[in-house]
Amino acid sequence: MTTLERMRRALPRRWRARRVRVPTVLQMEAVECGAAALAMVLAHFGRFVPLEELRAACGVSRDGSKASNLLKGARGYGLVARGYRREPSALVDLPLPMVIHWNFNHFLVLEGFRRGRAFLNDPAAGPRVVTDREFDEAFTGVALTFEPGRDFERGGVRRRLMAALRPRLSGSYAALAYVVAAGLLLVVPGLVVPTFSRLFVDDVLVRRAAELVRPLFLAMGSAIVALGALTWLQHRYLLRLETRFAVTTSSRFLWHVLHLPIRFFTQRFAGDIGSRVAINDRIAHLLSGELAASFIATCMAVFYAWFMWQYDRALSLVGMSTAGLNVIALKYFSAKRVHLNQQLLHDRGRMLGTAMAGLQGVETLKAMGAESDFFARWSGYQAKAMGTEQRLRVRSEILSVVPRLLMPLSAALVLGIGGLRVMDGTVSMGMLVAFQALMLGFITPLNKMVDLGSTLQEVEGDIARLDDVLSAPADPPPLSGETPVSASFPRLSGHLELRGVTFGYSPLDPPLIEDFSLSLRPGSRVALVGESGCGKTTIARLVCGLYEPWSGEVLFDGNSRKEVPRGLMTNSFSVVDQEVFLFEGSVRDNLTLWDSTIEEADMVRAATDACMHDEISARPGHYHGPVEEGGRNFSG
C-alpha cells in the first residue's frame, strides 16, 4: 500500500474522493507546460486567458518557466497563489485544482483523487489517470495551489471554433451565398421525386391510370436533369472557392511566419512549424466544401422534416428519434476527440521536428555513434503519436458506425409501422413509398452534419495550431526607406555603439546582459571573449536586430537602429553566425537569394570582397554550379 493510500484511508470520507474538473489547454511548444497549466486553472475559476499572454506573464523563455514565475503570473491575475514542498500523502488537504511538478521536467494539473487513482490534466497529453504508485514515483514534491482573491475577476472569452473560422471567411460571403443558393435549389427536385413516386404508385399502379405514365416520367426526368445541373454548378464554384481559400490562407500564414521574432523559433521545432503550413489546405477544404455543404444540409433536413410531418406524424417521430440519437452520440464523444486530436497534432509535430533535426545533423550522429540514441528518441515520439492516433480512431469509428446502425433500424421501423398504417387505411401505399424517399432525404444530410461535427472536432486542433502562430506578435515593420537614402543617411560609416543595453530571455528572471556599453570606430576590430553561455552570441543578435533590448540603445553612426531604413541597413551590415545554411540550387541562387535583378558584376564584386571568387571560379559551372542542401558538396 502506498503512503498516499494509507494517508487517504485515515481521513474522513469527504476527503477521500475529492476531484474537480478543469478545461483542457494543450501546450503548443515544449517549454510552455507551466503557462498552459496556469491557463487551465484560470479557466476553472472563470478567467479565460490566451496562451500567448500567459507566456509573457509566466516569463516563458527558451529554458521554460520556473514554479516561482508561475506564482508571480497567477498573482498578477488576482489569484492567491502558494507554493508547497510536500510528500504525496500530504496533498489531500490542499485546495484543488493544483499545479504539480512531474518527473522533474514538467508541470501539469492535479484534479484530485478517487478510488486509488489520481486524475491529471496534462498540457502535453490532455486528461489522464494514473495509479497511486505511479503518482508516488513521478511527483517531485512541488505543488502550487490557487484560490480566487479579492482582486480576481472572471472574464475573457472561451475559445470558440466558429469565432476562429469567421475571420477566414472575410471577403468570401458573396461566393458562399451563391453556393448556398445553388444548394438550396437542390431541395426542389429532391422534394418533387417523392411526390411523383406517390402519384405513380397510387394512381398508376393501384388505380391503373396509364395515361399518367408518360407525363410522370417526363417530369421525373426533368427533375433529374435539374438536379444534375445544379449539383455541377455548386461543385464548380466550391472548387474555385477552395482554391482561393488555400492560396490566401497559406500565403498569409507563411508571410506572418517570416515576420515573427527569432524568439518564436527558438522555442519550437522547425518541422513542427513547417507541418502547420499544410494545415491551411485542410482548413480551405473545410470552409469551401464541408462547412457550406453542412449549412445546405441543415436547410434540406428542415424542409424534409416539415414534409415528413405533413405526411405522417408517427412515422416522422421515428426519423427524428434517429436524428436525436446521432446528436447524442456526437456530443458524448466530442470533448475527448478534440483533446485527442490536439494531442495527436502535437505529437506528430514533435516527431517530424525530431526527424528533421536528426537528418540535418546525420554526420554528427554517425561521428558520435549516436544513431541508436537518436532512433530511440524518434521511435518514442512515433509510438506516442501512434498510440494517440489509435485512441482517436477508435472513437471516430464508433461515431461513424452509429449512423450506419441507426439508418437500417429506422428504415425497418418505418416499414413495420408504415405497413400497419397502410393495412388500417391511415396512409396509402404511395404515401409510404414517398415517405421512405423523404426519410432518406432527411437522414442523408443529417449524417453529413454528424460527419461535419466529427470533422470540426478534429479541425479545432488544427485551428489552434494555426492561431498559435498567427496570434504571435510580429516584429514591428522597419523603415521602408522610401525616402532617398542620401537625404538623411548618405552612407553608414561603420560607427557602432551599444549604450546601456540590458537584455534577458525571461522578463521575470535577472537579465543575462545588464547595462552593457560598447563603442566601435570604423575600421576597428573587437573580439568578445567569455565562457559558453555568457552572452557573446546574444550581443551579436542584439546588434543585428534579432533581439530587442529591454533597455538601452543600439546606434549606427549615432542613429538608433530603428531609425535606419532597412535597405540601407542590409546593404551596409553583414552577419556570419555559427549556423550557416546553404540552399539547394546554384551558387548564384545562394548569393542573390533568387533575385534576378542583381547584376553579374555586383555579385562577383561581393564574392571577391568575401575572398570567395577564386574558390567559386575553380568549381565546375562557376557561379552556375550546383549547391547541395546544407552545402554538402562544399568543404570548410
Q: Does domain 485-572 have CATH number 3.40.30.10?
A: no
**Average pLDDT over every residue of 516-534:** 85
Cell of 161: 471554433
Q: What is the identity of the amino acid at 412?
A: A
Residue 388 has pLDDT above 70, yes or no: yes
How many helices (H) and strands (E) the chain has is answered by 23, 12
Cβ(344)–Cβ(388) under 8 Å?
Answer: yes
Cβ(58)–Cβ(117) under 8 Å?
Answer: no
Q: Bigger pLDDT: 271 or 380? A: 380
pLDDT, one tens digit per residue, over 563-581 is: 887 777 777 777 777 667 7
- Given this model, what pLDDT does residue 481 score? 46
pLDDT, one tens digit per residue, over 478-495 is: 554 444 444 444 567 888
pLDDT, one tens digit per residue, over 237-292 is: 777 777 777 778 888 888 888 888 877 777 666 667 777 777 777 777 777 666 76
- Given this model, what pLDDT does residue 11 score? 46
The DSSP symbol for 202 reads I
Residue 79 has pLDDT above 90, yes or no: yes
Q: Of the candidates 90, 120, 117, 91, which has an alpha carbon nearest to the alpha carbon of residue 106?
A: 120
Give pTM, 2 decimals.
0.63
- Share of residues in the chain with pLDDT > 70 (%): 86
- Given this model, what pLDDT does residue 218 score? 82
Residues 6+ apart with CB under 8 A from 376: none
Residues 6+ apart with CB under 8 A from 330: 399, 450, 453, 454
pLDDT, one tens digit per residue, over 160-173 is: 767 777 777 776 67
pLDDT, one tens digit per residue, over 205-217 is: 777 777 777 777 7
pLDDT, one tens digit per residue, over 334-364 is: 656 666 776 776 677 778 777 877 777 777 7
- Given this model, what pLDDT does residue 110 score? 92
Cell of 536: 557573446
Residues 6+ apart with CB under 8 A from 297: 445, 446, 448, 449, 452
Q: Of the candidates 350, 304, 44, 278, which has an alpha carbon nearest to the alpha carbon of residue 194?
A: 304
* Residue 404 burial class via C-beta count within 10 angstroms: exposed 0-12, middle 13-18, buried 19 and up: exposed
**Average pLDDT over every residue of 404-412:** 73
Could you give the 3-state DSSP secondary structure of residue 397? Answer: helix
Residues 6+ apart with CB under 8 A from 392: 337, 340, 341, 344
- What confidence category does residue 15 fall into, taking pLDDT thresholds of 50, 70 and 90? very low
The separation between the first and the last C-alpha atoms of the chain, rounded to the nearest angstrom, is: 62
Q: Cα(565)–Cα(548) distance, rounded to whole angstroms?
A: 17
Q: Cα(351)–Cα(45) distance, rounded to whole angstroms?
A: 34
DSSP states along 499-567: EEEEE-S-TTS--SEEEEEEEE-TT--------TTSSHHHHHHHHHTSS--SEEEEEETTEEGGGS-HH
The helix (H) or strand (E) run that includes residue 497 is strand 496-503
Give the CATH fold of the 3-148 domain.
Cathepsin B; Chain A (3.90.70)
Residue 378 has pLDDT above 60, yes or no: yes
Q: Cα(168)–Cα(252) distance, rounded to whole angstroms?
A: 11
Cβ(385)–Cβ(341) under 8 Å?
Answer: no
Locate all alpha helices (DSSP H) within 361-370, ordered by sequence: 362-368
Residue 5 has pLDDT above 60, yes or no: no
Q: Bigger pLDDT: 322 or 598? A: 598
- Share of residues in the chain with pLDDT > 90 (%): 6
Q: Cα(54)–Cα(187) distance, rounded to whole angstroms?
A: 49
Residue with grid cell 448556398, as numbered in its chain: 180
The beta-strand segments (E) located in 57-170 are 79-85, 98-102, 106-114, 117-122, 126-131, 139-148
Cell of 450: 454528424
Q: Cα(276)–Cα(265) distance, rounded to whole angstroms?
A: 14
Residue 228 has pLDDT above 70, yes or no: yes
Cell of 108: 501539469
Domain ranges of the chain: 3-148, 161-470, 485-572, 585-631
- Given this model, what pLDDT does residue 486 score? 42
CATH classification number, 161-470, choose in 1.10.3720.10, 2.60.40.10, 3.30.420.40, 1.20.1560.10: 1.20.1560.10
Cell of 105: 521536467
Q: By mean pLDDT, which of 148-157, 270-279, 466-475 is the weakest?
A: 270-279
